[in-house]
Structure 1
Amino acid sequence: MEDDHLHNEDENIQENAGNETITRVSGMFKDWFLDYASYVILERAVPAIEDGFKPVQRRIMQSMKDLDDGRYNKVANIVGHTMQYHPHGDASIADAMVQIGQKDILIDTQGNWGNILTGDSAAASRYIEARLSKFAIDVVFNPKITEWQASYDGRRKEPVNLPVMFPLLLAQGGEGIAVGLSTKILPHNFIELIDASIKHLNGKKFTIYPDFPTAGIIDITDYKDGLRGGKVRVRAKISQMDKSTLVINEIPFSTNTSSLIDSILKANDKGKIKIKKIEDNTSSSVEILVHLPSGISPDKTIDALYAFTNCEVSISPLGCVIEDNKPLFVGVTEMLRRSTDNTVQLLKQNLELKLDEYEEQWHFASLERIFIENRIYRDIEEEETWDGVITAIDKGLQPHIKHLKRAITTEDIERLTEIRIKRISKFDIDKAQQKIDALEDQIAQVKHDLAHLVDYAIAYFTRLKNDYGKGRERLTEIRLFDDVDATKVIIRNTKLYVNREEGFVGTSLKRDEYVCDCSDIDDIIVFTRDGKMMITKVDAKTFVGKDIINVEVFNKKDKRTIYNMIYRDGAKGPSYVKRFSVTGVTRDKEYDLTNGSKGSTVLYFSSNPNGEAEVITIFLRQVGSIKKLKWDLDFTEILIKGRNSKGNQVTKYAIKKIELKEKGISTLKPRKIWFDDTVQRLNVDGRGELIGEFRGEDRLLIINQSGIVKTILPELTSRFDSDMIILEKWVPKKPISAIYFEGEKERFYVKRFLIDQEGKEELFISEHPKSHLEIISTDWKPIAEVELTKERGKERKDNLEVNLEEFISVKGITALGNQLTKEKVNQISLLEPLPYEAPEEVPAEEIEVVDEDDISEDTPSKTIKTDEEEDSDDDGNGQGKLF
């Protein structure tokens, strides 16, 4: 019958075309999905903007208030009580309560509530206990200004919204998936939210950014106020414990140590990174030790962890809340404004209620004093009826009530009749007046607060910060991230092979020639004998062209790798020389590096990672009347041009062979390197402070506040400790001057030293726990000023000015040094160093350098001719030497 009713309610079947039946949904079916979607959005998944709670969270909080007696309650008991407001499942209520408890704002927990760091779940609800925190009692509840509604079965009253006087939604964050929409509001810092609310009340602009309980590092460049389309990047905090061990002390939000370690192990299995083992020592704080095999760079591994594991995650916020029973997409700035304005209105309602209460207390206290002081209670002795009693009291009060603020009601008179005789007999007029005066002061204060509501709200927020802000400082460090180039940090754990004759390259050609180590995300560049070039992705086996002469891993936008090439144009044409770089190209497209003539052949080719230019010897075939069959060609005299350039003519005669005479040196300008303090990384893009110009073996000098010094090659993947105080280009012959406090001897010492071992990390102060570095200088002639401590009863001694170069000679890095002074030192500071002309570093060989930015695709060629060509040229324009 039910089926018949549903089918007969409307003409549901519209048409039948072939095997498809089109059914028009109507009747009760029409609204079912919309009703379900509305219920999930409004009653389950999305928090309200007024108090920041989802319905189940609001019912949990109200239940805890109902049960609150200052003692802990079993969570199972609270869950059962919550079900009186709505029959959510007990498991879902317990899970929601655990999530609130783990945020450590509203609930004071006891027992095993799980661990957000490790991902461990909470104990069963019958084993753990909870009570409202002092903060929750202070800011969440006020029954007198709460709007109530009937519960699902009408037996109880539940709050429509709790009168939360704090931006709780932003402090806790919120996440939910509804039907057709979702929300993801990230948690923000407790103290910063209060400061932002105060700024808003003062009419000032403010910005707020996420702060996570798991700490970590966050890049908020694209936060976009928490609106849809924004994102934040969150990283674990990774540091280097020693040369072979990394330690992770903070993890990204939305991860835990288990998922983080799993992602590291998966990256290791896939060959993205290379690790030896992982130890998880996490308890109340995170400590994950990542042990590295020997020979693996810790700096590159840190970048690889960010590139290939959950050590860096991207989180996309989506600010969606419920307002007036409708979804509202809004940014966190507007959320805070609305929350703060709502708090002001709640404070106003609370003050108005207090004013009414104080005025009522003042009114009755005044009536009571009149009633007792003028002995009006005696006027009712003759009355026999209740109406007569009321009338007699009213008549007796009339001469004394002109100063009252409202008329006397029957209820007022009935309250007077309820005063006990004992109270009348012990009535103290002075105490009664003091009570009235105190009430008048309270009324005046409340009226003042209402008249200065913004100041009152600011004072309220300030009190919250003072009472509850301790220990809630920002955990997540805000920092700009540098983009990690995955191709530069991935472990090359795959071997690349080549079959030169057949023209195949790949990782599966294990019987052929080994080329180099590579990774599965690398590109490779291939050059063939006929002057063709191709760039392709690493694969198991790829055909690129027969007679391969050079194959290597390709680095995109690499202007420092220069290719030197000599080719014959056509089958019997002249030979040309060219130098070029390869930057941006289309993958798997074949490029011709010759002049395009059929039969062209590459006679000589070299790949130079730092723009090296070698000297070669060219031998010609004995043909006709050629006088000179052998001469040298120096690639330093060849300009670097684009890959499409024709090149410079070497000879029009046939070349017999070419031999390498002398290895090349770099012809590129020294590379300028900058240090960007915001991301704590080196770069060649001009960001930050210029450190200097670096050639091949030049190194960086790094000195930390902990007294550690080292030199490193200036690799762009290098990472730097937070206590770094010196970062500059290392001049090996320039002494380092230091003043440090020697903990065992409790005296200041001076030392000057040179670094003997490149790349070695060395401690140049003593290992005593009280030893610390006071002054460090890399000037040639540093001057220090020493301020001595004034002793009681003695004259203050003049400051000492110490020329460190004269004070002590250069000694070994491990030397103790000379004692600075026997007097007690108050302060040591560096003065301007003495002038000194540092010795110039003269390069071993003067060469013409080429700026990488000058390398272009259309640089005009210059012809190079030999003596033989000069003799044979009819026009007499030949040159007798190379240019």
Structure 2
Amino acid sequence: MNQETPDTTLGLSNVNHLERLYDGWFLDYASYVILDRAVPYFEDGLKPVQRRILHSMFENHDGRYQKVATIVGRTMAYHPHGDASIGDALVGLGQKNLLIDTQGNWGNPYTGDRAAAPRYIEGRLTPFAVDVVFNPETTEWIPSYDGRSEEPVTLPVKFPLLLAQGVDGIAVGLSTSILPHNFRELCEASIACLRGKKFTLYPDFFTGGIIDVSDYNDGQRGGKVKVRAKIEKVDNKTLAIREIPYGTTTVSLIESIVKANDKGKIKIKHVDDNTSQGVEILVHLQPGTDPQVAIDALYAFTDCEKSLSPCTCVIIDKHPKFVGVSDILKLNTEHTVKLLEWELANELKHLEDKWHMTTLEKIFIEKEVYEVIKKAKDREQIIRLVREGLTPYLKRLHRQTVTDEEIGKLIEIPIRRISHYDREKADQLLQELEENIAKCKYNQEHIIDYAVNHFKNILKKYGEGKERRTQIAEFGKVNAVHVALANQKLYVNRKEGFVGTGMKKEEYLFDVSEYDDLIVFKADGSFKVVKVSDKDFVGKDIILVEKFNKDDERHIYNVIHQDGKDGYAYIKRFNVGGVTRDKDYYMGKNKPGSKILYMSSNMNGEAEVVEVILKPRPRIKLNFEVDFSEVEVKGRGAIGNIVSKYPVKTVKRLRKGVSTLGARVLYFDAPSGIVSTQKKGDCLGEFGENDKLLIIKQDGSARVHTMADPILVGSNIKYLHKYDPAQVFTVLYFEGSNFNYMVKRFNLEGCPMTTEFSVVSDHKDTKLIELFATDDARELMEYQVGREVQKEELDLTEIAEVKGYKALGSKFTAKKIKRVSRISPADPFSDGSGESEGSNEDPSLF
């Protein structure tokens, strides 16, 4: 039999073998990267390197700072990678300012500057981390990579840490990007989850800024958020950026501004970076540049606005899964409940063991069972005799078995301790243990209430200073003051001179947001503008506190003040305008004894009539009328006109006044979605004091606004005009409930004046196609009849009669509508675009 020569070529079988080998190795590598490097576990929200860093720090935690180099070195006993990766992860944890208390130069996340060398900086665990993140008794352990020690599978975190810190990771075949959320809101959401209530979570960034969450999609794939820098106008030539978008640095932001300027998209002279502990970028504009136009350009062409795409991928049951932020919060809350149950079970066991041992000790000493030791010859006999001595008294024990180990502890009690035994103290200790046992059992039976209190305690102990920093808004809302939710109550102590949102026992004023400015007037004639805060001293004897908008030119203050202790009384009308925050301004010349005799705040420049009553004086008329409408409005620095050279006793208002500023001219700025008196955007015409503004949006929702400056109307505007209840509208819309095109004609007599309503049905599939506010309402209809398209021109005013806005309207065809096109010219400002024509295809085709 001839022996075959071995085939040394690369045959097909060898190729298949290599492919199988490669497939196996690649899957192993992918699994390793996903599970052990890039993607966090939902239980503690940590990647393995972060978990090992924290575990190492807890092992050596003594309350003192440790060198970062030392922490890195100790972590290498658990992490099978280089010190550089550990150091970078440690600095990242420290910069989030939640788990690690840092000391030294840990870098600047605003500027992107790196931290100092590990030998120069120090860190230690925060009280929050020690309190919430660690508990060896409720930790599952596995051997470390070299088998010399044990490390946690996950840390027993009793808080949604993953959502608080956020995380980014790129694995093999998938990635994760979870945006950070607000600490306080997470606690409140967990409480709501435990109580079975609804909650909503949106990102919150340490960089502040403004965020549009309309497309957040609960943080899942396909969602996105837009983030903006917070830009303030310092003066007509200078803009200040003090909050930057998340994911940028001051360096990259300035580079994008310079690049946009080089391309001619914005006009600036130069940029100054004054960032240190906080961000401050000053943008100096070219002469003649409109600051508002420059702000819009910065948002459009630089990194002052960025788009982020969240993707919440986490490890659940050792598998990567894509879930929403709300689901992660629920999982974290349920996991916290399990950990609390585990802790209570451990605590109960410890308490019962201690109670058992304390009771044995009490019996052993009080019943003089220890006397049997004298009769024993060896240890075994001692244990037997002691057990026999204890047996008659074991009925009082919950656990009527006594181990040899417990008897061993009893016989090792020193004689001195037996002779000084305090029965009363022992009974007190047993009573305390029994109370704690009962409390522990009660908490086990009411675990949900116990968990709610757990999150409330976290919020109370660690929530201070962790208020939301990123403002939620729909973009187009340029100024944060115009869009911030008034979700805090403002209080004042007039006599002592304090204002703030944390003074809940004082006089309530009104609701504010954390972005509002306040103007405060005091009895001595001084006033200042301050930021809303928890508690701020602004000066004693406060007489008026209001929200402040420096751009509101129609807000006029009418004042009669005395300049100096024996000075003249002056009258003045003024608009505050731009001021420096926290700086004192004065009605007069700030003479000692100055005071305000009368003051009124008028949102639309109203001017009342008052009576001035003088102090008694021979041959002097003691009272006379003063009409503020005869006083010219001047700047805040003007002292005013003399009212009286003699001392004034009091001033009383006799009659209300009307505005002296005339009708206001309103403008609509489509990019910002704001209607105001600022001459920016499309002119809406003159509006008197009793006029109202009607807004109808693309979805058919409508609202009547009373006059205010500014009015935020947002985007997707279909009709924007002065409200006239007799105005007849003609609407073509697709009715979702019956899948038909309908025409309705109506006026808005009797419509709601304070709440939103709809001019079409509320069905989710209903779509507003066309809206006419003129008698000319013609449409070109295209019908699909078989394979042919038929066209017909319709006058919609002939199809339906004028009824109320709640009427359904009239169906006008049974044919399949393919497209509708507007023939009539568009009404001025009907859709905010100025377009004269348009077409809409049948919504059922999409």
Normalised-by-shorter TM-score class: 0.5 to 0.7
After superposition, the Cα gap between the structure-2 partners of 1:358 and 1:229, relative to the gap in structure 1 and judged at 3 Å, is same
1:299-448 → structure 2 map (5 Å cutoff): 299-406=292-399, 407-448=401-442
Which whole-Å deviations, capped at 9, do the CAs of 1:407-435 have from their partners, x for residues lacking one?
22222212211111111111111111111
Structure 2 counterpart of 1:419, which letter?
I
Q: Is the Cα contact below 8 Å between 2:605 and 2:661 reproduced in 1? A: no
Structure 1 counterpart of 2:75, which letter?
T
Q: How many residue pairs are counted as aligned between the two chains?
A: 595
Structure 1 counterpart of 2:33, which letter?
V
Once residues 338 and 150 of structure 2 are traced to their aligned partners in structure 1, the CA distance between those partners, rounded to angstroms, is 23
Once residues 56 and 76 of structure 1 are traced to their aligned partners in structure 2, the CA distance between those partners, rounded to angstroms, is 15
Name the counterpart of 1:459.
453
1:757-836 → structure 2 map (5 Å cutoff): 769-770=585-586, 775-779=601-605, 781-782=607-608, 805=627, 809-810=631-632, 813=635, 815-818=638-641, 833=657
After superposition, the Cα gap between the structure-2 partners of 1:460 and 1:272, relative to the gap in structure 1 and judged at 3 Å, is same
Which whole-Å deviations, capped at 9, do the CAs of 1:498-539 have from their partners, x for residues lacking one?
xxxxxxxxxxxxxxxxxxxxxxxxxxxxxxxxxxxxxxxxxx
Name the counterpart of 1:739.
559
1:635-650 → structure 2 map (5 Å cutoff): none
After superposition, the Cα gap between the structure-2 partners of 1:859 and 1:316, relative to the gap in structure 1 and judged at 3 Å, is closer
Name the counterpart of 1:870.
none
1:497-508 → structure 2 map (5 Å cutoff): none
After superposition, the Cα gap between the structure-2 partners of 1:724 and 1:85, relative to the gap in structure 1 and judged at 3 Å, is same
TM-score normalised over the length of structure 2: 0.64
Q: Is the Cα contact below 8 Å between 1:363 and 1:405 reproduced in 2? A: yes
Matched, 1:471 2:297: no
Q: Is the Cα contact below 8 Å between 2:561 and 2:571 reproduced in 1? A: no
After superposition, the Cα gap between the structure-2 partners of 1:740 and 1:341, relative to the gap in structure 1 and judged at 3 Å, is farther
SS in 1 for 2:151: strand
Q: Give the Å deviation of 1:724.
A: 2.2
Q: Unaligned regions of 5+ residues in structure 1, if any?
A: 14-22, 485-674, 681-702, 709-720, 789-800, 844-849, 861-883
Q: Is the Cα contact below 8 Å between 1:214 and 1:253 reproduced in 2? A: yes
SS in 2 for 1:233: strand
Q: Give the Å deviation of 1:274.
A: 1.0
Matched, 1:450 2:450: no
Structure 1 counterpart of 2:267, which letter?
K
Q: Give the Å deviation of 1:30.
A: 2.4
Structure 2 counterpart of 1:723, which letter?
F
* Residue 13 of structure 2, aligned match among 11, 14, 23: 11
After superposition, the Cα gap between the structure-2 partners of 1:107 and 1:153, relative to the gap in structure 1 and judged at 3 Å, is same
Once residues 323 and 679 of structure 1 are traced to their aligned partners in structure 2, the CA distance between those partners, rounded to angstroms, is 37
Q: Unaligned regions of 5+ residues in structure 2, if any?
A: 1-5, 486-516, 522-526, 528-545, 588-595, 615-622, 666-684, 687-771, 779-821, 826-846
Q: Give the Å deviation of 1:343.
A: 0.9
Matched, 1:31 2:27: no
After superposition, the Cα gap between the structure-2 partners of 1:89 and 1:736, relative to the gap in structure 1 and judged at 3 Å, is closer
- Bigger-Rg structure (1/2): 1
Q: Is the Cα contact below 8 Å between 1:279 and 1:289 reproduced in 2? A: yes
SS in 2 for 1:322: strand
Once residues 262 and 723 of structure 1 are traced to their aligned partners in structure 2, the CA distance between those partners, rounded to angstroms, is 34
Which whole-Å deviations, capped at 9, do the CAs of 1:291-339 have from their partners, x for residues lacking one?
1111111110000000000000111111110011100111111111111
SS in 2 for 1:328: strand
Which whole-Å deviations, capped at 9, do the CAs of 1:481-509 have from their partners, x for residues lacking one?
1189xxxxxxxxxxxxxxxxxxxxxxxxx
Which whole-Å deviations, capped at 9, do the CAs of 1:673-732 have from their partners, x for residues lacking one?
xx995499xxxxxxxxxxxxxxxxxxxxxx996999xxxxxxxxxxxx99327858x8xx
Once residues 446 and 141 of structure 1 are traced to their aligned partners in structure 2, the CA distance between those partners, rounded to angstroms, is 20
Once residues 73 and 820 of structure 1 are traced to their aligned partners in structure 2, the CA distance between those partners, rounded to angstroms, is 71
Once residues 455 and 664 of structure 2 are traced to their aligned partners in structure 1, the CA distance between those partners, rounded to angstroms, is 63
* Residue 254 of structure 1, aligned match among 244, 247, 269: 247
Matched, 1:241 2:234: yes
Structure 1 counterpart of 2:219, which letter?
G
Name the counterpart of 2:52.
59
Name the counterpart of 2:549.
724
Once residues 363 and 197 of structure 1 are traced to their aligned partners in structure 2, the CA distance between those partners, rounded to angstroms, is 37
Tell which deviates more after alignment, 385-394 or 143-152: 385-394
Q: Is the Cα contact below 8 Å between 1:145 and 1:163 reproduced in 2? A: yes
Q: Is the Cα contact below 8 Å between 1:197 and 1:336 reproduced in 2? A: yes
Q: Is the Cα contact below 8 Å between 2:609 and 2:628 reproduced in 1? A: no
Q: Give the Å deviation of 1:147.
A: 0.5
1:215-230 → structure 2 map (5 Å cutoff): 215-230=208-223
Q: Give the Å deviation of 1:70.
A: 1.4
After superposition, the Cα gap between the structure-2 partners of 1:94 and 1:5, relative to the gap in structure 1 and judged at 3 Å, is farther
Once residues 744 and 310 of structure 1 are traced to their aligned partners in structure 2, the CA distance between those partners, rounded to angstroms, is 52
Which whole-Å deviations, capped at 9, do the CAs of 1:612-668 have from their partners, x for residues lacking one?
xxxxxxxxxxxxxxxxxxxxxxxxxxxxxxxxxxxxxxxxxxxxxxxxxxxxxxxxx
After superposition, the Cα gap between the structure-2 partners of 1:170 and 1:6, relative to the gap in structure 1 and judged at 3 Å, is farther
Q: Give the Å deviation of 1:752.
A: 4.0
Q: Give the Å deviation of 1:108.
A: 0.7
Name the counterpart of 1:77.
70
Q: Is the Cα contact below 8 Å between 1:226 and 1:317 reproduced in 2? A: yes
Matched, 1:480 2:474: yes
Which whole-Å deviations, capped at 9, do the CAs of 1:375-418 have from their partners, x for residues lacking one?
11111212213322121111111111111011222222122111
1:498-647 → structure 2 map (5 Å cutoff): none
Q: Percent identity?
A: 49
SS in 1 for 2:245: coil
Structure 1 counterpart of 2:355, which letter?
W
Q: Give the Å deviation of 1:86.
A: 2.2
Once residues 27 and 231 of structure 2 are traced to their aligned partners in structure 1, the CA distance between those partners, rounded to angstroms, is 48
Name the counterpart of 2:572.
751
Q: Is the Cα contact below 8 Å between 1:48 and 1:322 reproduced in 2? A: yes
SS in 2 for 1:158: strand
Name the counterpart of 1:557.
none
Q: Is the Cα contact below 8 Å between 1:737 and 1:750 reproduced in 2? A: no
Q: Is the Cα contact below 8 Å between 2:165 and 2:181 reproduced in 1? A: yes
Once residues 5 and 142 of structure 1 are traced to their aligned partners in structure 2, the CA distance between those partners, rounded to angstroms, is 62
Which whole-Å deviations, capped at 9, do the CAs of 1:519-564 have from their partners, x for residues lacking one?
xxxxxxxxxxxxxxxxxxxxxxxxxxxxxxxxxxxxxxxxxxxxxx
Matched, 1:231 2:215: no
Name the counterpart of 2:87.
94
Once residues 241 and 563 of structure 2 are traced to their aligned partners in structure 1, the CA distance between those partners, rounded to angstroms, is 31
After superposition, the Cα gap between the structure-2 partners of 1:202 and 1:830, relative to the gap in structure 1 and judged at 3 Å, is farther
Once residues 218 and 283 of structure 1 are traced to their aligned partners in structure 2, the CA distance between those partners, rounded to angstroms, is 24
Q: Is the Cα contact below 8 Å between 2:563 and 2:570 reproduced in 1? A: no
Once residues 42 and 828 of structure 1 are traced to their aligned partners in structure 2, the CA distance between those partners, rounded to angstroms, is 76
Once residues 19 and 52 of structure 2 are traced to their aligned partners in structure 1, the CA distance between those partners, rounded to angstroms, is 36
Supply the RMSD in Å over aligned alpha carbons.
Answer: 4.3
Name the counterpart of 1:502.
none
SS in 2 for 1:405: coil
Q: Give the Å deviation of 1:472.
A: 1.1
Which whole-Å deviations, capped at 9, do the CAs of 1:137-189 have from their partners, x for residues lacking one?
10011001110000111111000010001111111111101011101111111
Tell which deviates more after alignment, 801-810 or 397-406: 801-810
Structure 2 counterpart of 1:411, which letter?
E
Structure 2 counterpart of 1:751, which letter?
K
TM-score normalised over the length of structure 1: 0.61
SS in 2 for 1:751: strand
Name the counterpart of 1:68.
61
